Amino acid sequence: MNMTAKKTSVIGFPRIGKARELKFASEKFFKGEISEAELQKTAAEIRQYGWQKQKAAGISFIPSNDFSFYDNVLDTAFLLGAVPARYRELGLSALETYFAAAHGYQGPKGDVKALPMKKWFNTNYHYIVPELDDSTELALSGDVKPIREYNEAKAAGVHTVPSLVGPYTFLKLARYNGNKKAGAFAASAVNAYLELAEQLSVAGAEWISLAEPALVFDVNDEDKQFFKAIYSALLEQLHAKASVKVLLQTYFGDIRDVYQEVVSFGFDGIGIDFVEGLKSLELLKTGFPKNAILFAGVVNGKNIWRADYEKKNLLLIEIEKVVDASRVVVGTSCSLLHVPYTVASEQKLPADTLKHFAFAEEKLVELADLASGDQTAFEKNRALFAAARVSATPSVRASIDALTEDDFVRLPNRGERRKIQAGKFDLPAFPTTTIGSFPQTAEVRANRAAFKKGEISYEQYVEFNRKKIAECIALQESIGLDVIVHGEFERNDMVEYFGTQIDGFIFTQNAWVQSYGTRCVKPPVVWRDIHRNKPITVEWSVFAQKQTGKPVKGMLTGPVTILNWSFPREDISLKAQAQQIALAIRDEVLDLEKNGIKIIQIDEAALREKLPLRKSDWHKEYLDWAIPAFRLVHAGVKPETQIHTHMCYSEFNDIVRDIDAMDADVITFEASRSDLKLLDALNDAHFETQVGPGVYDIHSPRVPSVDEIVNTIHRIIDKVPQANVWVNPDCGLKTRGETETTASLKNLVAAARQLRAEA
């Protein structure tokens, strides 16, 4: 037993509000129902809640500035004055300018698109990509949020560590629109951070934390030089001017390429991830500075399972062979932003299940237990891990064992299938379609909620949805779309919907996790072996197909996405879990086909998400099981059945070949926010799958004009053979309003028609 009481630290705390107060307040603010002051009040309460919880748990290093109205990277851009002119020129209030950059603005003051958004490392959180151009001058901006929030915590009796996205990560993640690249901004960034550190030090901060997760990527020599240039300048001046201590915080992996540099820089504290950082311990053993404090990320900030104290303790013992126990701080592996607030919000799951969970607030207790080595807590934990949590389902294991290579290969090949399908579907050039969901209006949500609460019967629930489906199909026909969808009114969430109907998942009531802005997801938990015991979507799809002569797409979520957007098990491999889910969805695909559904879309929205951060790990750790899992789902269909897939936010330039190898017939993807850069990659790879790069951004309410869409399609056909191009929005429409959706889709169809006329 490790008996030295140690300090504890947290990298970041959830910030959406325990009951998603920030989401609801923000939505009211956008609708003009509450004032900015009221929104600010909610935000302050949320911050206070987190600080007080951490204080009560006895956390030694509590972060501030981990709050955000939308995203911390966007906050950093505003902090440093990196706000593109088109947003500043709208002449809005500071907060409204911020929201304009986050989700676009269309109103009396102008019409601008949002900044692009990207997945935050290997999480399902998205950050806003800062945009720097030749006129950008980085300098500390007027409203210094980290100082404001530091003071706010201090006034409430909580001494915090202001947490900042570090300059290296900020400049690495930014996009450069002019001739000036990252290097040109290094000096001004350093000055801004320096000034900020001084101000924080004056305000009373003892430590500041600079998050540099970009160090866990592959860091090449040029990047290494860049990192060194930034930090040698910053640290030297900082130690000369301000008395604040600097914690270099890394997470989401190990820093194998820069470890030697990091430990020789003179940081007062270094934060290292021992959970995802496969090589962290090995690196640590090469040495650690005598006077620095190690912030050891040992409690997993991403999973929801209880930590195994015995194992964590053994890890701490290994760590303390290198670093004196008095200089080891027990911390989270990353921000707790990626887990829900508390298990205490769950009333429905049995205590026997809940005892295996640790969300953010429970992880605070785990940190304290591990730091104190509390005997009773260790005993209780040992009892929890003494027996296997669940037993295997023999039939599922047998199906997996029986798989052969043929089960992963669809025949005939794509070229042959294309000819067969062209004869079956009478589609025009530039076929138009949508990604699946239509606006989830209040009445749609109310219908689902009423059914869930038992206020209406199943028949009433179905009848309402059928009416919605019929209306949605009539709308699509009147708009002139070629391939129809049913609208997904029965679904709350593309993963939760399937999880609830497949055996093996369990669900929480309130375990929400932020995805982008104030949007949250409530991931299912993979609890035991998975299988499908009854059809899921067949009745809805068959009903929808009866409403129209045009093909209606069956709409499913793929195994990799279901797994990536769930909390996976830790007792069997991800590959095994993906195959189990794939077999369940495969049953559904074959049932849809048997019931006359001719086009089936299998969404893999999150395929890229869990791609290892280091390229060298991509295939062996991930793609080698993820792509086959997708093929397993559809390899059994007839040649004439057209398989679509869809991906979002996918920067998949570098995995284009793997995407092609999924062997779908058509893929639609998010592109409008990433400036269609992917098109070059498709071109270079001679991409075979037909493609629908999204022609407008559905994450914003603005309506794209016909001209704008025509231009986008022109840019697409510059790079992609015209015969392969589909025309569609970039993602599902469920978060949009009905009016803007209809207007946008009309323009989309008009644009496709214009292109057909030109051809």
β-pair partners for 602: 556, 645
Residue 605 sits in the site that holds Zn ion (CB under 5 A): yes
With the CA atoms of 663, 667, 669 and 675 taken in that order, what torsion angle do they form, in degrees rounded to the nearest 10? 90
> Under a CB-based contact definition with an 8 Å cutoff, are residues 632 and 410 in contact?
no
User: Tokens in use for 756?
Assistant: 């057909």
Rounded to a whole number of angstroms, the minimum distance from the CB of residue 679 to Zn ion is 18
Q: Which is nearer to ligand GLN, 435 or 544 (CB)?
A: 435
Rounded to a whole number of angstroms, the minimum distance from the CB of residue 442 to ligand GLN is 18
Residues in the chain, overall count:
759
**Which residues ranging from 623 to 662 are in contact with Zn ion (CB under 5 A)?**
648
Q: Which H helix or E strand runs over 442?
A: helix 442-452
Q: Strand, coil or helix: what is 125?
A: coil
Q: Which H helix or E strand runs over 298?
A: strand 293-299
User: Tokens in use for 509?
Assistant: 């009531």
Rounded to a whole number of angstroms, the minimum distance from the CB of residue 403 to Zn ion is 29
Rounded to a whole number of angstroms, the minimum distance from the CB of residue 173 to ligand GLN is 22
Rounded to a whole number of angstroms, the minimum distance from the CB of residue 650 to Zn ion is 9
Sign of the C-alpha dihedral computed for residues 410, 411, 416 and 418 taken in this order: negative
**Total site size for Zn ion, rule CB under 5 A:** 3
**Residue 436 partner contact from ligand GLN, Zn ion, none using kind-dependent CB cut-offs of 5 to 8 Å:** ligand GLN
Give the whole-angstrom CA distance, residue 81 versus residue 727. 37
**Which residues ranging from 713 to 732 are in contact with Zn ion (CB under 5 A)?**
731
Q: Which is nearer to ligand GLN, 303 or 437 (CB)?
A: 437
Q: Which residue is nearest to ligand GLN (CB)?
A: 732
With the CA atoms of 110, 111, 112 and 113 taken in that order, what torsion angle do they form, in degrees rounded to the nearest 10? 150
Q: Which is nearer to ligand GLN, 6 or 486 (CB)?
A: 486
Q: Which is nearer to ligand GLN, 199 or 557 (CB)?
A: 557
Rounded to a whole number of angstroms, the minimum distance from the CB of residue 234 to Zn ion is 39
> Under a CB-based contact definition with an 8 Å cutoff, are residues 554 and 592 in contact?
yes
Rounded to a whole number of angstroms, the minimum distance from the CB of residue 157 to ligand GLN is 42
Amino acid identity, position 640: E
Q: Is 686 a catalytic residue?
A: no
Backbone angles phi, psi at 527, to 5 degrees: -100, -45
Q: Which of 486, 644, 646, 699 is catalytic?
A: 699
Rounded to a whole number of angstroms, the minimum distance from the CB of residue 328 to Zn ion is 43
Residues that bind ligand GLN (CB under 6 A): 435-437, 488, 494, 555, 603, 605, 646, 648, 731-732, 734
Instruction: Work out the end-to-end distance of the chain between its first and last CA atoms, rounded to an integer number of angstroms.
Output: 75
Residue span binding Zn ion (CB under 5 A) among the ranges 139-147, 226-234, 451-459, 599-607: 599-607
Q: Which is nearer to ligand GLN, 246 or 581 (CB)?
A: 581
704: left (phi over 0), alpha (psi -120 to 50) or beta: beta
Q: Which is nearer to ligand GLN, 18 or 644 (CB)?
A: 644
User: Tokens in use for 506?
Assistant: 């369990």
Q: Which is nearer to Zn ion, 233 or 647 (CB)?
A: 647
Q: Which is nearer to Zn ion, 97 or 437 (CB)?
A: 437
Q: Strand, coil or helix: what is 659?
A: helix
Q: Which is nearer to ligand GLN, 262 or 494 (CB)?
A: 494
> Under a CB-based contact definition with an 8 Å cutoff, are residues 611 and 622 in contact?
yes
Instruction: Kindly write down the DSSP assignment for every residue of 228-269, as one continuous string.
Output: HHHHHHHHHHHHHH---EEEEE--SS--TTTHHHHHTS--SE
Rounded to a whole number of angstroms, the minimum distance from the CB of residue 494 to ligand GLN is 5
**Residue 79 partner contact from ligand GLN, Zn ion, none using kind-dependent CB cut-offs of 5 to 8 Å:** none
Instruction: Kindly write down the DSSP assignment for every residue of 577-626, as one continuous string.
Output: HHHHHHHHHHHHHHHHHHTT--EEEEE-TTTTTT--SSGGGHIIIIIHHH
Instruction: Kindly write down the DSSP assignment for every residue of 484-496, as one continuous string.
Output: B--B-TT-S-TTH
Amino acid identity, position 586: R
Which residues are near Zn ion by CB under 5 A? 605, 648, 731
Question: Any idea which residues carry the catalytic annotation?
Answer: 699
